[in-house]
Amino acid sequence: MLVQDRAVPKSPKPPQIRKLPTVQSNRLSDPKNLDFSAWVPDNCYKIVTILVLILTIAAVFFIYSSTNTAFLLCLQSETQSAVDSISLPQINWNSIKPIPDRTSPYANFRSEQWVVVSVSNYPSDALKKVVKIKGWQVLAIGNSRTPSDWSLKGAIFLSLDMQANLGFRVVDHLPYDSYVRKSVGYLFAIQHGAKKIFDADDRGEVIDNDLGKHFDVELVGEGARQEVILQYSHDNPNRTVVNPYIHFGQRSVWPRGLPLENVGDFGHEEFYTEVFGGKQFIQQGISNGLPDVDSVFYFTRKSGFEAFDIRFDEHAPKVAFPQGMMVPLNSFNTLYHSSAFWALMLPVSVSTMASDVLRGYWGQRLLWEIGGNVAVYPPTVHRYDRIEAYPFSEEKDLHVNVGRLIKFLVSWRSNKHRLFEKILDLSYAMAEEGFWTEQDLKFTAAWLQDLVAVGYQQPRLMTLELDRPRANIGHGDRKEYIPQKLPSVHLAVEETGVVSSEIGNLIRWRKNFGNIVLIMFCNGPVERTALEWRLLYGRIFKTVVIFSAQKNSDLAIEEGQLDQIYKHLPKIFDRFSSADGFLFLEDDTVLNYWNLLQADKTKLWITDKVSMSWSTVSTKGSSDWYSKQAELVRKVVSTMPVHFQVNYREVVRSDQSLTICSSEIFYIPQRFVADFVDLVNLVGHLDIHQKVSIPMFFLSMDSPQNFDSVLSTMVYKPEPQSANSSSTHYSAHAPAVHPWKVSSEQEFIKLIRIMGEGDPLLTELV
């Protein structure tokens, strides 16, 4: 309507009608005869002109259309390419202009020691004490939830408006309601002369109001302690992450960010080494009261509404970490020296509970590039438990990705020649691997440019020790330290001076199965049970690999169909080539791991002595399915090498019989892995069902009389008519129980409570 109105405007006055002169009509006169032969020569030039004009217009239209189509195709290709790939930001470091403080009232203020804290509420009692610590300037960073009239004498407060006016590039990438806005505070502190930054929160009280009591505030000069530091041993290169709480007397507590598969590592160090101090540019403090724990610990160790008050050994020596070994770091009790200021950047594309942990691992890996290390210190703050629910969903990035992230970081290498280029290179690689998104890659570029703009000088690179041959640790280099065993809380059970028998059992189970890989197939909804299965069995086994009919990358669920799942096992064998063995388990079967200690881990385990699981059927007159499966088995057996075929023929002597095994649970030791892979390759693309292939493989690999009989006493019942009837046949004295349905959190809780008869530590898990 608007186009029409604008094309034909209404006239304000009616148009004047002009009277045309009278023209005499000639319609009735005789028409002229058209002589075509005479007309063509007379109008030849007109015809030629019109043809040339038509051809010209057609040519122009064709060229334009072709060019336009090519342009559109090119544009579409480029757009698709931009979506599919992540581009590395290009930065001209020499063209970055300085950013002076021209807007805040503190433009001329300078301090070398800063405490940076995020505030969402009015000043806490703890923060009122921190602001009185001599020699340290408190910088409070506001967000959208902070009261507009926030004020605390002695503290500098930066509201959202003040942050926006500072001119930092990072402001454009920050959420309004998150503590990750502390990144603005770090830059502000560096801009105003910071040499040390204590990363804190507003509910941690500094013990004795002295950050220097345990922290090494000075690394060089007269105030430096100039001492050697106890260091974890690099004797085992495959050990890439450590729970530091064990060193400080709490072996049943673990920090947020520790991979769940490492939670069961309770043993103290056999020995330590030593390293000269002065390079611990990142110093992580321990927190008494409510330490930095994840929601899994918080919910499973909570006893009613009683607040946590966990204490660590304040007399334990600080401990450093060698290159190749990492530790979870947080954002509320950590001291950064200027050489590591670049590592303060808090990612913005991951959940808030994962941001500082990912920052910590990212920063530790880059710290090795400048010869620095991380050290963990005895209790430096006391945090009070407010008895608030920890958001489990906010930790998804941790429980799913952190183990894979650590492995990735340890193996990552870069050929860049300057630290900031390496930082950008690693952030790019992490975006490509999906640990964070391209948003954090762009944020990294903005962060680094802001660092340069506020006058920060990037440290020089050092030779990476990881790429050098490691020296053997001699007898004289080994330093022994046995941590105390302080009263603790584990699954709501108080430890009293010594490790309880329940913890002792858990250590024994972990020692026995710690190098066994558990491979699970989930028939139920994995989004409701995957993390629970990993929590339950991850305490015992080396790792838990989960398959399901639907892939779920967020939960690290791999795709596979149950009737052909055996074809996926070789890739798991190859992935964990150093494992002692592999235990397969369907989620409708409960594993009572405490009854497997006597099993021989060098033998095959299967349910060949469980009549309801293992059977032989005759294919004479049987259904088409059995006949077809038997025909496929005969085809594979005929191609088997002699050692496989002889083993198989000793048991199955007739081609008219077919061995069936439900195959809900079986174990393959490392010495039979190569045989299993060979048999899978013999099957190839043949459609042999899991229930047929597994017994065929086992009978081919070894004689049944050599199988371990550990599973012979398992409880195996028909499928229950109702969900409630399954609980009646559970036995904690059997090695396994089938069937058992778990498809929801409530059903998992029910299972955990019943399993508590065999593993008492589970009784308070829910």
Question: Would the pLDDT of 71 be above 60?
Answer: no
Please indicate, yes or no, whether residues 258 and 180 belong to a single structural domain of this protein: no
**CATH number of the CATH domain containing 707:** 3.90.550
Give the pLDDT of residue 84: 53
CA distances to 193, 247, 510, 626, 761 from 499, in Å: 48, 14, 15, 55, 13
Please indicate, yes or no, whether residues 287 and 182 belong to a single structural domain of this protein: no
Which two structure tokens, joined as six digits, stand for 388? 């608030």
Total domains in the chain come to 3
Give the pLDDT of residue 470: 74
Which two structure tokens, joined as six digits, stand for 11? 């006239």
Q: How do residues 642-653 score in pLDDT, each as one tens digit?
A: 999 999 999 998
Please indicate, yes or no, whether residues 521 and 374 belong to a single structural domain of this protein: no
26: amino acid identity, one letter: N
- Is residue 473 assigned to a domain? yes
For residue 165, the tally of other CB atoms under 10 A from its CB is 15
Mean pLDDT for the stretch of residues 56-65: 46
- The residue ranges of DSSP E strands in 580-707, in sequence order, are 581-586, 590-591, 614-618, 657-661, 665-669
Q: In terms of residue numbers, what domain contains 660? A: 501-716+727-756
498: amino acid identity, one letter: V
Question: What residues form DSSP beta bridges with 286?
Answer: 379
Given a contact cutoff of 8 angstroms between Cβ atoms, the answer to whether 694 and 590 are in contact is no
Give the pLDDT of residue 41: 52
Question: What residues form DSSP beta bridges with 543?
Answer: 517
Question: Would the pLDDT of 572 be above 80?
Answer: yes
Please indicate, yes or no, whether residues 197 and 270 belong to a single structural domain of this protein: no
| pLDDT over 90, % of the chain | 61
Of the candidate ranges 197-211, 295-309, 522-536, 572-586, the one whose mean pLDDT is the lowest: 295-309
Please indicate, yes or no, whether residues 370 and 473 belong to a single structural domain of this protein: yes
Mean pLDDT for the stretch of residues 320-337: 96
- Is residue 5 assigned to a domain? no
Mean pLDDT for the stretch of residues 433-445: 94
CA distances to 350, 578, 661, 678, 748 from 574, in Å: 31, 9, 25, 13, 31
Please indicate, yes or no, whether residues 590 and 653 belong to a single structural domain of this protein: yes
Of the candidate ranges 14-28, 339-353, 421-435, 748-762, the one whose mean pLDDT is the lowest: 14-28
**CATH number of the CATH domain containing 154:** 3.40.50
Q: Which residues contact 603 (CB under 8 A, 6 or more apart)?
A: 669, 702, 706, 707, 708
Which two structure tokens, joined as six digits, stand for 575? 């992935």
Given a contact cutoff of 8 angstroms between Cβ atoms, the answer to whether 547 and 520 are in contact is yes
How long, in residues, is the chain? 766
- Is residue 377 assigned to a domain? yes
Q: Can you tell me whether residue 118 is helix, strand or coil?
A: strand
Question: Would the pLDDT of 751 be above 50?
Answer: yes
Higher pLDDT, 61 or 403: 403
Q: Which residues contact 518 (CB under 8 A, 6 or more apart)?
A: 537, 540, 541, 542, 543, 544, 545, 582, 583, 585
Q: How do residues 710-734 score in pLDDT, each as one tens digit?
A: 999 999 998 764 545 555 789 999 9
Given a contact cutoff of 8 angstroms between Cβ atoms, the answer to whether 131 and 153 are in contact is yes
Backbone angles phi, psi at 473, to 5 degrees: -90, 110
Given a contact cutoff of 8 angstroms between Cβ atoms, the answer to whether 350 and 178 are in contact is no
Backbone angles phi, psi at 360, to 5 degrees: -65, -45
From the list 206, 190, 181, the residue with the least C-alpha distance to 131 is 206
CA distance 379 to 376: 9
CA distance 167 to 158: 13
CA distance 312 to 676: 48
Residue 750: pLDDT band (50, 70, 90) is: confident
Q: 3-class secondary structure for 25-83? A: CCCCCCCCCCCHHHHHHHCHHHHHHHHHHHHHHHHHHHHHHHHHHHHHHHHHHHHHHHH
Given a contact cutoff of 8 angstroms between Cβ atoms, the answer to whether 411 and 317 are in contact is no
From the list 326, 244, 323, 252, the residue with the least C-alpha distance to 286 is 244
- Is residue 586 assigned to a domain? yes
Which two structure tokens, joined as six digits, stand for 623? 């259904």
CA distance 294 to 288: 15
Looking at residue 498, the DSSP 8-state letter turns out to be B
105: amino acid identity, one letter: P
Mean pLDDT for the stretch of residues 401-409: 90
Mean pLDDT for the stretch of residues 415-431: 96
- Is residue 625 assigned to a domain? yes
Task: Look up the pTM and report it.
Answer: 0.62
Which two structure tokens, joined as six digits, stand for 672? 């039979």
Question: Would the pLDDT of 602 be above 70?
Answer: yes
Please indicate, yes or no, whether residues 241 and 278 belong to a single structural domain of this protein: yes
Please indicate, yes or no, whether residues 224 and 196 belong to a single structural domain of this protein: no
- Is residue 680 assigned to a domain? yes
Give the pLDDT of residue 20: 34
Given a contact cutoff of 8 angstroms between Cβ atoms, the answer to whether 690 and 706 are in contact is no
Question: Would the pLDDT of 569 be above 90?
Answer: yes
Give the pLDDT of residue 25: 36
Q: Which residues contact 673 (CB under 8 A, 6 or more apart)?
A: 573, 582
Mean pLDDT for the stretch of residues 577-593: 95
Higher pLDDT, 21 or 187: 187
- Is residue 21 assigned to a domain? no
Single out the residue in 424, 449, 479 at which a domain terminates: 479
Please indicate, yes or no, whether residues 534 and 680 belong to a single structural domain of this protein: yes
Mean pLDDT for the stretch of residues 468-477: 77
Q: Can you tell me whether residue 305 is helix, strand or coil?
A: coil
- Helical spans, DSSP H, in 87-181: 125-130, 160-164
Query: If you search the block for the tokens 């004797």, which residue do you land on?
Result: 235
Question: Would the pLDDT of 640 be above 90?
Answer: yes
Give the pLDDT of residue 415: 94
Please indicate, yes or no, whether residues 228 and 198 belong to a single structural domain of this protein: no
CA distance 394 to 392: 5
Please indicate, yes or no, whether residues 396 and 367 belong to a single structural domain of this protein: yes
CA distance 276 to 230: 9
Of the candidate ranges 94-98, 189-193, 262-266, 715-719, the one whose mean pLDDT is the lowest: 262-266
- Is residue 451 assigned to a domain? no
- Torsion of Cα atoms, 138 then 143 then 145 then 150, to 10°: 40
Please indicate, yes or no, whether residues 318 and 346 belong to a single structural domain of this protein: yes
- Torsion of Cα atoms, 647 then 650 then 654 then 660, to 10°: -60
Higher pLDDT, 80 or 383: 383
Give the pLDDT of residue 151: 96
Mean pLDDT for the stretch of residues 313-330: 95
Residue 260: pLDDT band (50, 70, 90) is: confident
DSSP code string of 325-393: -B----SSEEEEEGGGGGGGPPPSSS-HHHHHHHHHHHHHHHHGGGT--EEEEEEEEEE--------GG
Residue 388: pLDDT band (50, 70, 90) is: low
Give the pLDDT of residue 266: 67
End-to-end alpha carbon distance in the chain: 66
Average pLDDT over the chain, rounded to whole?
Answer: 84
Mean pLDDT for the stretch of residues 588-599: 95
Single out the residue in 418, 445, 479 at which a domain terminates: 479
Q: How do residues 330-354 score in pLDDT, each as one tens digit?
A: 999 999 999 999 999 999 999 888 9
Looking at residue 479, the DSSP 8-state letter turns out to be B
